[in-house]
Amino acid sequence: MEIEKMELQKGDIVQSFDFPDTNDCYYVGEIMSINKANGTFKARIIRRVWNGRSEPFDGLTFVAPLPNLSSVDGVGSHRVYLLEE
């Protein structure tokens, strides 16, 4: 799906990268809620990858910008991807 047309929904599984210059640090999570007023979503962490090493992190949450609303979107690549798991 083209990232510009992607609409995230509650229950979607996403991959959210932490830093613009590396793909070795990110979360995989299930979207719990979407806040369009401030352009973010909240997700339950399924796993965390830190420096390329996968770690289970079940139960904790993270908040991230919706696609195309991050200050680093378009700097090399987008930072949130919809996964099909």
pTM confidence score: 0.78
d(CA 32, CA 11): 6
- What are the tens digits of pLDDT across the range 58-74? 779 999 888 766 555 45
d(CA 20, CA 38): 21
- What are the tens digits of pLDDT across the range 26-56? 999 999 999 999 989 999 999 999 898 998 7
The pair of structure tokens assigned to 75 is 């700097």
Q: Where are the domains of the chain?
A: 9-62+76-83
* Placement of tokens 């806040």 in the chain: 35
